[in-house]
Amino acid sequence: MYAARPGIKPWRANRAGGNGSWRRLLAAVAAVAALSIAFSLGARGGGDTHYTTVEVEPGDTLWSIASAHYPADDVRVRVDDIEQANGLSGPAIQVGQSLRLPA
């Protein structure tokens, strides 16, 4: 076992860094959080989304608009994107309505 002088508890030694070690740990956690946020914004396009505006014609649906403007993408995902970009609670749209299409 270890020998301890009087006044030093064997189960708890003094910290060499004092409160500075907690500050370094907090700074490291903050740096990791900031990098995580930066990378997630970068993956989504930096939050600077550009929109194209279209007017709903007779016979148009969100599905037909999404498939016409995003032929290479999954139409279901793009319909959800259009709903979110325009604050729609469902697929109902009106003739003459302007819709913002995310780029």
Q: Are residues 22 and 55 in the same domain?
A: no
Predicted pLDDT at 49? 64
More confident residue, 10 or 99: 99
CATH code of the domain covering residue 84: 3.10.350.10
Q: Are residues 29 and 64 in the same domain?
A: no
Segment 75-99 shows an average pLDDT of 93
Predicted TM-score (pTM) of this structure: 0.53
Q: Are residues 35 and 61 in the same domain?
A: no
Predicted pLDDT at 2? 60
Predicted pLDDT at 1? 55
The answer, yes or no, to whether residue 74 has pLDDT greater than 60, is: yes
- Quote the percentage of the chain above a pLDDT of 70: 73
Predicted pLDDT at 66? 94
Which domain, by its residues, includes 80? 51-102
CA distance 50 to 81: 13
62: closest CA among 86, 40, 45? 86
Segment 30-38 shows an average pLDDT of 89
Q: What is the mean pLDDT of the chain?
A: 82
CA distance 21 to 72: 52
The answer, yes or no, to whether residue 77 has pLDDT greater than 90, is: yes
Q: Are residues 64 and 85 in the same domain?
A: yes
